[in-house]
Amino acid sequence: MAAGRPRSLLLGCGSSASRATAAAAASLSPLPLQASRRRAAAAGPVRAASTASSAATTAKPLPTPTSPPDWTVRMLYDGECALCMKEVNFLMKRDSAAPRRRIDFVDIASDGYRADQNVGIDFETAMAKIHAIRPNGEVLTGIAVFRALYEAVGLGWVYSVTSSPPVERVANAVYDFWAKYRTRVTGREDMAEIFEARRRRLQAAEGGEDLLGSECRVDGSGCGADATTEASK
C-alpha cells in the first residue's frame, strides 16, 4: 500500500468502554502547550518505529506539567491481532515519516503491559474495546480513537464525518460488533480463553504471583485482595 493512501479498517484491539479510568484521568493536569513546544524544539525530531517489532510495548509514565510528552495520543493496540496490525503498521509508517512523533504505540498483548502506567486500563478492558490516552489523561474509546489517530498523522479527513453524533453512533455500533467477534473472525481463541491463558502465563513467570496485580480469572476471582489472599495460601 502506498504510504500516502489511508487504510481505514474500522478495526481495533478491542468492546465496552471503561468508566473506571475517569478518576485516574482527573488527577492528571493538562500540559501547557507552550512548554510542550519548547520541549519539542529542544529535543529535535523524534520518530516512531515503522514496524510492529520495533514498537514500544511498555508504556512510559504519563507526563506531568514538568515533563511534556513527545506524543499527542497513545494508542493501546492488540499486537496479536493480525488484521488489526495492518492498520497499526500503516499508522506507524505515517507517524515515522512525520517531522515529529505524534503517536505513542503500546502493545497490550505484551506481558510487560501495565494498567498502572495507562490510567488504570487493564488488559481485559483494553482487549474489549480499543482505547487511546491523551497526555493529560483523557481516555478515548471506539471511533473517537481512530479519529484522533488519523488526525495525528495528517489524515483527519478520513474520519471527519464521524464527528457528527448520528454518524458516530452508527460507526460505533459497527465497530462494537466487530470488536465482540474479532478474535473468532481472525482465527484466535475466545476472549475468555485469551484472558485465562495470560493469567496463567503471568503467574508462572512470577512463581504463582500475578505479574500485574490486576489480572482477574474468568470467574472474577483472583482480583485485588483475592489475589493476595490466594497467593499466600
pLDDT mean by block of 10 residues, the chain; 233 residues: 47 40 40 42 40 43 64 96 94 92 95 94 96 96 97 96 96 94 90 93 75 41 41 42
Residue owning grid cell 481516555: 139
Considering the domain architecture, whether residues 117 and 31 belong to the same structural domain is answered as: yes
Q: Report pLDDT for 220.
A: 40
Domain count, the chain: 2
Both 93 and 204 in a single domain? no
Please give the Cα distance from 204 to 210 (Å, whole number): 9
Output the CA–CA distances (angstroms, integers) from residue 131 to 37, 117, 137, 147, in the order listed. Answer: 25, 14, 12, 12
**Which pLDDT score is estimated for 205?**
85
Phi (first) and psi of residue 111, to 5 degrees: -65, -15
Identify the domain containing residue 97 by its residue range.
22-163
Q: Specify the pLDDT at position 99.
A: 86
Domain contains 174: no
**pLDDT value at position 100?**
87
Same domain, 111 and 31: yes
Do both 145 and 210 map to the same domain? no
Q: Are residues 46 and 101 in the same domain?
A: yes
Q: Are residues 201 and 158 in the same domain?
A: no
Residues 31 and 141 occupy one common structural domain: yes
Pair (111, 28) in one structural domain: yes
The cell numbers describing 86, all together, are: 495492518
What global pTM score does this model have?
0.62
Is 97 part of a structural domain of the chain?
yes
Does residue 124 fall inside a structural domain? yes
| Domain assignment of residue 170, yes or no | no
- Residues 159 and 200 placed together within one structural domain of the fold: no
CB distance 130 to 12 below 8 Å: yes
